[in-house]
Chain A
Amino acid sequence: MTSEANALKDDSAGNALSRRRFIASALTTAVGVTIADIVQPRGLLAQVAPSTCSKAGDPFVPVREFRSKGKKLAANFTVKGTTKTVATIAGQGYQCKSMRLRYYAAQEALPGGLKWPENPALPGPGPTLRARVGDEININLLNALQASFFGRTNSAPNGCDLKTNQNSQTIYPGSDNMPSCFHEDNVTNLHYHGTHVTPDGKGDNVMVDVVPPTGTYENLFTLPLPPPASNSTDPSQPFKMGQAPGTHWYHAHKHGSVALQLLNGMAGAFIIEGEFDDQLETLIPGLAATEKVLVIQQLGETITIQPGPPLNTCAGGDPLPLVNGQLQPTIEMKPGEIQRWRFINATMQQASYLTYKFLGVDEYTASKGGPFPSTAGYAPEIRQIAYDGVQLAPERYNDPNFGLAQEFAMAPANRIDILVQAPNTPGKSVLAFRYLHGAPPAGCQPRTLVDLFLLNLNVSGTPVSPAMNFPTASNYPVMPGWLQWNESDPRNKIEESRTLKFNNTNDASLRPAINGKAFNNMPDTTQYVTLNTAEEWLLENYWDSSIHPFHIHVNPFQVLEIFDPNASTQAVLQAPYNWRDTIAIPSSKTDLATGKITPGWVKIRSRYVDFCGTFVLHCHILDHEDRGMMQKVVIEDPNSKVMPMVPMHH
Chain B
Amino acid sequence: MGKPKKGGFPPSQPIVNYIAINGGAINNATIAWGDSVVWTNEDAESYKLAPFKNGQPDPDNIWADLGPVGTDTANSAEMVFTWSPGMSKDPIVYQYGTLPPGTATATITAQIKV
User: Taking beta carbons and an 8 Å cutoff, which residues of A are in contact with B?
Assistant: 88, 90-92, 95, 97, 99-100, 147-154, 162-168, 171, 300-302, 304-307, 315-319, 442-444, 446, 448
Residues from chain B with Cβ under 8 Å of A318 in the complex: 11, 13
Contact of A448 among B11, B16, B71, B73 (CB under 8 A): B11
Specify which chain B residues have a CB less than 8 angstroms from the CB of A150 in the assembled complex.
38, 75
Mostly, the B contact residues are loop
* B34 lies within 8 A of chain A by Cβ: yes
Distance, CA A97 to CA B15, complexed state (A)? 8
Q: Which of B1, B61, B77 sits near A304, CB closer than 8 Å?
A: B1
Are A319 and B13 interface neighbours, CB within 8 A?
yes
Give me the 6 closest cross-chain CB pairs, A-B, nearest first.
A91-B11, A317-B13, A151-B38, A154-B77, A151-B78, A316-B14
Q: CB within 8 A of A305: which of B15, B71, B80, B108?
A: B80
Shortest C-beta distance, A588 to chain B (Å), equals: 23
Tell me, rounded to whole Å, the shortest Cβ–Cβ distance linking B17 to chain A: 10
Which residues of chain A are within 8 angstroms of B75 by Cβ–Cβ distance? 148-152
B74 / chain A contacts, CB cutoff of 8 Å: 148
* Residue in chain A with minimal CB distance to B13: A317
Beta-carbon contact of B14 and A100 below 8 Å: no
Contacts of B34 in A (CB 8 A): 304, 316
Interface residue from B11, B14, B72 paired with A147 (Cβ < 8 Å): B72
One of B9, B13, B18, B79 near A166 (C-beta < 8 A): B79
Contact of A151 among B12, B77, B110 (CB under 8 A): B77
Cβ contact within 8 Å between A304 and B14: yes
Contact partner of B1 among A90, A151, A306, CB < 8 A? Answer: A306
- Say how far A263's CB is from chain B's closest CB, in angstroms: 10
Q: Which of B1-56 contact A (CB under 8 A)?
A: 1-2, 8-16, 18, 34, 36, 38, 51
B residues less than 8 Å from A147 (CB atoms): 72
How many interface residues does chain B have, given as a range? 35 or more
Contacts of B38 in A (CB 8 A): 150-152
Kindly supply a per-residue 1/0 record for chain B positions 77-114, scoring 1 wherever the CB is within 8 Å of any chain A CB and 0 otherwise. Answer: 11111100000000000100000000000001010010
Residues in chain B near residue A301, CB distance under 8 A: 14-16, 36
Q: A147-B72, A164-B80 are in contact. Are A317 and B1 (CB under 8 A)?
A: no
B13, A90: Cβ atoms under 8 Å? yes
Find the residue from A90, A92, A306 having the highest chain B CB count within 10 A. Answer: A92
**Max chain A Cβ within 10 angstroms of own Cβ: one of B11, B108, B113:** B11
Min CB distance A141 to B, Å, is 22
Q: In the complex, how many angstroms separate the beta carbon of B96 from the nearest chain A beta carbon?
A: 9
A162 to B65 alpha-carbon distance, docked (Å): 14
Q: How far is the CA of A362 from the CA of B40 in the complex (A)?
A: 49
| CB-defined contacts of B9 to chain A, threshold 8 Å | 306, 442-444, 446
**In the complex, residue of chain A having the shortest beta-carbon distance to the beta carbon of B61:** A168
Is there an interface contact between B1 and A443, defined as CB atoms closer than 8 Å? yes
By CB atoms of chain B within 10 A, which of A97, A147, A446 has the most?
A446
Bound-state Cα–Cα, A317 to B8, Å: 12
CB distance from A429 to the nearest CB of B (A): 28
Give complex CA distance A88, B34 in Å: 18
Q: With the chains together, A72 CA to B62 CA distance in Å?
A: 55
In the bound complex, how far is the Cα of B100 from the Cα of A168, in angstroms?
Answer: 19
Given contacts A165-B80, A304-B34, contact A152 B72 (CB under 8 A): yes
A307-B83 Cα distance, complex, nearest whole Å: 12
Q: List 27 A-B contacts (CB under 8 A).
A: A92-B12, A95-B12, A95-B13, A97-B13, A100-B18, A148-B71, A148-B72, A148-B74, A148-B75, A151-B38, A151-B75, A151-B76, A152-B72, A152-B76, A152-B77, A163-B78, A165-B80, A167-B61, A301-B16, A301-B36, A302-B16, A304-B14, A305-B1, A305-B80, A315-B13, A316-B14, A442-B9
Q: Which residues of A contact B71 (CB under 8 A)?
A: 148
B51 / chain A contacts, CB cutoff of 8 Å:
166
Tell me the complex Cα distance, A305–B51, Å: 23
Cα A166 to Cα B113 in complex, Å, equals 18
Q: Are B77 and A300 in contact (CB under 8 A)?
A: no
Least Cβ–Cβ distance between A161 and chain B, in angstroms: 8
**Alpha-carbon separation in the docked complex, A91 to B11 (Å):** 5
Task: Knowing A151-B38, A305-B1, say if A446 contacts B8 (CB, 8 Å).
Answer: yes
